[in-house]
């Protein structure tokens, strides 16, 4: 009797296969294939194939394959935990960026030593090559099987519930399923409620590491119990894992909170959670960044304005922020009326435009503002300068005619590219489209979205579409920059807005004398100056280019005997506009040099008998080490040129 076959579409081509086959048999020859995308849905290799199925293999070293491996690692970790702590109650265990985690309810909190024991137990489970087998159940069966797991019971009863912001619900979908871990004798040794997919077996799990412990409220709500969260990561091999762990260690060294304190840049105090205190050196850095911003905007024909920090509620109702953003706004009462501390600069910018009539000849009108804004963030979400409650937005609003849209967007892209290139960042671009809670007509949204697409196409700029993530008043282009560690940060944005000019009744007199409504661009380059400073601290590891450095030169007298000459050198540096200081400590010169290096100071001027006698300075730099003796005037001329051109001088040798 002939073997029954079915026809499937494999990588776009029709193929005849045995009727009772699964992916395990079909892809047995290729050990790198660990799952399939079946009719568009990711499935494990044990899934039975049917006639007409569209099959695409998922390989281990792909993005999807890595996510599946890390998901499987969460199950292995949870199994190991329950073998060591049988009383542990399971929460959820999703894959996140660069790794995974699982939440547990345990009587005794985990310790770093526990992580080592859990890792050892995981290795045993991996070596035993247990297979992951999916089993579909009814809700009643699931409730019975998870009777001793209160968190799983809650999820079963509320399948569409929103979980922790980092997590996706493990059981949402059309059907409930378990994944059983089956040993080589066919016995189920562990199970978890999960939709999958998973690796064919634990033996396919590559190199892994449990990285840290944290507390996490169940379902992300402070009203719920605090659970114990174990984070981990996994890669296809040990070399990739080690490279990742090395990056994490380097990131810890570069942590802007650590360096900000060591370099005396800013303080984060309990008296103002989320409200950073900038110290003198931090203000020097911030002002250098602002001076650069003002310089490039002046050259690009922007004007600068300043709008009030507090404005009445009616303004925010008209702008749409009251309906769409009020939970993140601080409010107060003045003279019995509701007022809001601004979370955005745009309504103020609109009022500036509306304060006087405009002609088509004035447009485009490019209006910049370094505006301090306040937004309510949960205390647990605060993170150094990256997530704060008040920050300075380097905003600008461009008011223009419809025929000017493409050119203005191209101009803004050019300006943002200039900024990122200055700091050595590369970037990619994302187009975010209309969200669910938007305001405005379909026609306006279509015109705005097409305007952004047309500009990107004219620039031949590749972009990713991020569906439904636009602002409530318009679509946007987001710029994601990459730092020296390869991490990405969303900073610059361009938002095209047809709504706010309509809401506020903005007009200009057209060439034919009619009154027309302008179109508005909202855009930022840095995003938040505070956050951008945090990124720069980590990108440069605190070793800023000379033009940005809070202290550009430190004068180092060899002993107190040469302090007077050192003070004279300092005075001339300051008179030339160079940010300089002198080390007056009664220490040896080697100590002073080490201190200056730890403070990441670009230039050290050593002065002693020879220097005083010849009227010169001995120059040491962070870039080249010993640069020899120079006349002070020559040194000042060179460093002023470097600062004026905002050079990013490269390190040649360790100082």
pLDDT tens digit sequence for 29-50? 888 999 999 998 999 999 988 8
Q: Which residue in the list 133, 219, 476, 620 is annotated as catalytic?
A: 476
- Residue whose C-alpha is closest to residue 531's, from 471, 491, 478: 491
pLDDT above 90 for 498:
no
d(CA 303, CA 312): 25
Query: Is residue 624 annotated as a catalytic residue, yes or no?
Result: no
pLDDT exceeds 90 at position 507: yes
**Mean pLDDT (the chain, rounded):** 91
Active site residue 340: no
Find how far residue 328's CA is from the centre of its chain. 20
Catalytic residue among 43, 229, 397, 523: 397
- On the question of a cis peptide bond just before residue 197, with omega within 30 degrees of 0, the verdict is yes
The one catalytic residue among 393, 404, 495, 552: 393
pLDDT score for 447: 84
* 3 state DSSP class of 551: coil
Q: What is the per-residue pLDDT across 424-443, written as a single tens digit (0 to 9) for each?
A: 898 999 999 998 878 788 88
Q: Of the listed 152, 281, 522, 531, which one is catalytic? A: 522
Q: What is the C-alpha to C-alpha distance for residues 288 and 286, in angstroms, rounded to an integer?
A: 5
- The CA-to-CA distance between both ends of the chain, in Å, stands at 82
Alpha carbons within 13 angstroms on the beta-carbon side of residue 377 total: 21
Mapping DSSP to helix (H, G, I), strand (E, B) and coil, where does residue 493 land?
strand
pLDDT digits (tens, 9 = 90+) for 393-423: 999 999 999 999 999 999 999 999 999 999 9
What pLDDT, in 10s, does the model give residues 464-483? Answer: 888 888 888 788 899 999 88
pLDDT at 342: 92
CA nearest neighbour of 426 among 487, 494, 495, 493 = 487
pLDDT at residue 174, rounded to an integer: 58
Candidates 70, 198, 256, 375; catalytic one:
375
State the pLDDT at residue 12: 82
The pair of three-digit structure tokens given for residue 332, joined into one six-digit string: 């107060």
Question: E-assigned strands of 356-468?
Answer: 365-374, 390-400, 426-432, 464-466
Cα–Cα distance between 566 and 581 in angstroms, integer?
Answer: 10
Which of 94-98, 291-295, 331-335: highest mean pLDDT?
291-295
Q: Please, what's the b/e burial string for 216-226 (b: 16 or more CB within 10 A of its CB; e: otherwise)?
A: bbbbeeeeeee
Confidence at residue 28, expressed as pLDDT on a 0 to 100 scale: 84
Cα distance between residue 181 and residue 134, in whole Å:
9
User: Is the per-residue pLDDT at 326 higher than 90?
Assistant: no
What pLDDT sits at residue 655? Answer: 44
Percent of the chain clearing pLDDT 70 (strictly above): 97
CA angle, corner 13, sides to 9 and 15, nearest 5?
60
- Cα–Cα distance list, 180 to 190, 200, 223, 286, 431 (Å): 6, 12, 32, 56, 41
165-173 contacts, C-beta under 8 A, 24 or more apart: 165/220, 166/94, 166/96, 166/101, 167/92, 167/94, 167/96, 168/94, 169/92, 170/92, 170/93, 170/94, 170/194, 170/195, 171/195
Higher-scoring residue by pLDDT: 584, 651: 584
Task: Please check the confidence at residue 307 and state whether its pLDDT lies above 80.
Answer: yes
Least confident of 150-164, 293-307, 491-505, 592-606: 150-164
**What pLDDT, on the 0 to 100 scale, is given for residue 3?**
65
Query: 547 and 415 in contact (C-beta within 8 Å)?
Result: no
522 tagged catalytic: yes
Q: Is 390 a catalytic residue?
A: no
pLDDT exceeds 60 at position 208: yes
Catalytic residue among 53, 394, 395, 483: 395
- pLDDT value for 471: 80
pLDDT of residue 653: 62
163-199 pLDDT, tens digit per residue, is 444 444 444 455 799 999 999 999 999 999 999 999 9
The string of pLDDT tens digits covering residues 361-373 is 999 999 999 999 9
**Averaged pLDDT, 453-457:** 89
Encode pLDDT of 258-293 as tens digits: 999 999 999 999 999 999 999 999 999 999 999 999
Distance CA 489, CA 389 (A): 19
Q: Going by C-beta distance under 8 Å and a sequence separation of 6 or more, which residues neighbour residue 573?
A: 553, 555, 580, 636
CA of residue 646 relative to chain centroid, distance: 26
Cα separations (Å) of 275 from 75, 200, 220, 384? 40, 50, 24, 10
The H or E element spanning position 564 is helix 563-575
Cis peptide bond upstream of 364, omega within 30: yes
Q: How far apart are CA 539 and CA 542, in angstroms?
A: 8
Residue 162 has pLDDT above 50, yes or no: no
Task: Centre a 10 Å sphere on the Cβ of residue 332 and count the other Cβ atoms it contains.
Answer: 10
- pLDDT beyond 80 at 652: no
pLDDT for the residue 539: 93
Three-state secondary-structure class, residue 95: strand
> What is the value of pTM for the model shown?
0.81
pLDDT confidence of residue 616 = 94
**Percent of the chain scoring above 90 in pLDDT:** 72
Q: According to the model, what pLDDT value does residue 654 have?
A: 54
43 noted as active-site residue: no
Tell the residue number behind the tokens 């345990």, with chain if given: 106
397 part of the active site? yes
pLDDT value of residue 304: 96
395 is catalytic: yes
């Amino acid at each position: 009797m002939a073997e029954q076959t079915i026809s499937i579409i494999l990588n776009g081509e029709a193929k005849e296969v045995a009727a009772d086959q699964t992916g395990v048999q079909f892809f047995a020859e290729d050990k790198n294939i660990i799952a399939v995308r079946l009719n568009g849905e990711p499935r494990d290799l044990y899934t039975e194939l049917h006639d007409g199925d569209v099959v695409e293999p998922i390989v281990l070293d792909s993005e999807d394959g890595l996510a599946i491996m890390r998901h499987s690692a969460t199950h292995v970790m949870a199994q190991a935990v329950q073998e060591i702590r049988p009383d542990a109650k399971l929460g959820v265990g999703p894959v996140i960026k660069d790794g995974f985690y699982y939440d547990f309810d345990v009587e005794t909190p985990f310790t770093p030593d526990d992580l080592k024991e859990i890792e050892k137990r995981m290795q045993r489970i991996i070596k035993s090559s247990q297979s992951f087998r999916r089993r579909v159940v009814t809700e009643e069966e699931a409730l019975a099987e998870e009777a001793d797991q209160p968190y799983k019971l809650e999820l079963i009863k509320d399948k569409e519930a929103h979980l922790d912001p980092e997590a996706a619900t493990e059981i949402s979908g059309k059907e409930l399923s378990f994944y059983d871990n089956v040993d080589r004798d066919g016995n189920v040794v562990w199970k978890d409620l999960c939709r999958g997919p998973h690796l064919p077996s634990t033996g396919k799990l590559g190199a892994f590491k449990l990285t840290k412990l944290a507390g996490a409220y169940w379902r992300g709500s402070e009203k719920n119990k605090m659970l114990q969260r174990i984070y981990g990561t996994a890669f296809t091999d040990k070399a990739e894992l080690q490279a990742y762990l090395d990056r994490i260690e380097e990131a810890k060294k570069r942590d802007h909170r650590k360096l900000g304190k060591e370099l005396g840049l800013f303080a984060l105090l309990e008296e103002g959670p989320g409200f950073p205190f900038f110290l003198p050196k931090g203000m020097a850095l911030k002002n250098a960044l602002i001076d650069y911003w003002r310089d490039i905007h002046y050259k690009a024909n922007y004007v600068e304005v300043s709008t009030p920090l507090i404005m009445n509620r009616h303004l925010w109702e008209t702008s749409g922020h009251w309906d769409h953003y009020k939970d993140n706004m601080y409010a107060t009462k003045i003279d019995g009326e509701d007022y809001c501390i601004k979370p955005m600069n745009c309504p103020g910018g609109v009022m500036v435009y509306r304060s006087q009539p405009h002609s088509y000849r004035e447009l485009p009108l490019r209006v910049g503002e370094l505006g301090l804004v306040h937004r309510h963030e949960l205390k647990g979400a605060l993170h150094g300068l990256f997530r704060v409650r008040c920050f300075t937005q380097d905003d600008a609003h461009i008011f223009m005619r419809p025929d000017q849209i493409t050119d203005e967007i191209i101009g803004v892209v050019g300006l943002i590219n200039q900024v990122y290139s200055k700091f050595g960042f590369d970037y990619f671009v994302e187009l975010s489209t209309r969200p669910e809670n938007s305001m405005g007509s379909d026609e306006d949204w279509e015109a705005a979205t097409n305007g952004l697409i047309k500009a990107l196409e004219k620039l031949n700029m590749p972009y990713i579409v991020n569906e439904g993530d636009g602002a409530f008043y318009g679509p946007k282009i987001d710029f994601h920059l990459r730092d020296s560690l390869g991490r990405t940060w969303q900073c610059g944005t361009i938002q095209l807005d047809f709504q706010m000019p309509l809401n506020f009744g903005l007009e200009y007199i057209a060439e034919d004398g009619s009154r027309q409504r302008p179109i508005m661009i909202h855009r930022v380059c840095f995003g938040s100056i505070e956050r951008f400073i945090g990124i720069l601290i980590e990108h440069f590891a605190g070793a800023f280019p000379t033009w940005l450095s809070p202290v550009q030169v430190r004068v180092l007298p060899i002993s107190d005997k040469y302090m007077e000459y050192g003070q004279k050198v300092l005075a001339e540096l300051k008179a030339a506009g160079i940010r300089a200081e002198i080390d007056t400590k009664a220490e040896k010169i080697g100590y002073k040099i080490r201190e200056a290096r730890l403070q990441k100071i670009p230039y050290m001027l050593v002065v002693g008998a020879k220097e005083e006698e010849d009227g010169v300075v001995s120059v040491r730099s962070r870039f080249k080490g010993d640069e020899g003796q120079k006349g002070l005037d020559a040194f000042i001329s060179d460093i002023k040129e470097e600062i004026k051109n905002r050079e990013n001088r490269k390190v040649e040798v360790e100082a």
